[in-house]
Structure 1
């Protein structure tokens, strides 16, 4: 079983996939992060991948290629992020018929070696709110090894689908819904 903490950021198709991806990547690059690899599936079955690593001469971060092909993935190392050095992040691009999103996968063990579950919850919520300053998504979520499964129009399904659900309000602020289980997928959440 993988031990991944997934942070999903979801949009409807009125947003430009390439522009939103560029905003998220730039957000992390501004935090002293490094991209060390990209992968793009050239076919629907995921059998033919175009891969590039940072040390290759032909390494180009092509946002359009990443968002217009079938699957895309960017591997990053976050330096000095939440006082952690060398935190791994894999950003995956998810496209559905009427919506799309980005999954930010963190290695849970790297986080738990430094922080409690409750503090990781708060750090994730703060991260999502900060990312909203550069890209105005429809909703965000966090849970253990999760996928983007729900259209932004499926509000009732969203409310109980993830450990943490973050919904930007129309005017200002956010609604943050914390469900009964923690982001590790096992531990019950202590309700205050």
Structure 2
């Protein structure tokens, strides 16, 4: 089984000049994450994980990335509940909204901010959008992800149930932030 750990790029490896012994230790700790950093070449190879969102973040899946920075990645939901349905995920593996720590409050706020920017970039109304996290155990992927759905007025009956605002299974970003 693959281990899901934060993304390390070759640029990061070069910038911190990791020693080969450290890379060997990392390989011992995370056998499904292989790092090579020799005097002649520097490269990073990440084997597929059991977490599909970690695979997307690490570009191991054929998924169009709509936005990416050092902390988060945005891509389309494979089962859209409306015309525009995106997922904003942290690059660092966090299992779900219940697993968040107080130190993650800034990340949660950033995820919502980026989701709203994506709506504006696509000329969609912020007022006719639904944002939220599925609350455990009601989640399909065990990697924190913020759903952004617009226009919510075009959501079908099933979508309205799955993404029902302030329900036991789908909670707002504000609720998640208030728990941190």
Higher helix fraction: Structure 1 or Structure 2? 2
TM-score by length of 1: 0.33
Larger Rg: 2
Which structure has more RCO (C-alpha within 8 Å, separation ≥ 6)?
1
Higher strand fraction: Structure 1 or Structure 2? 1
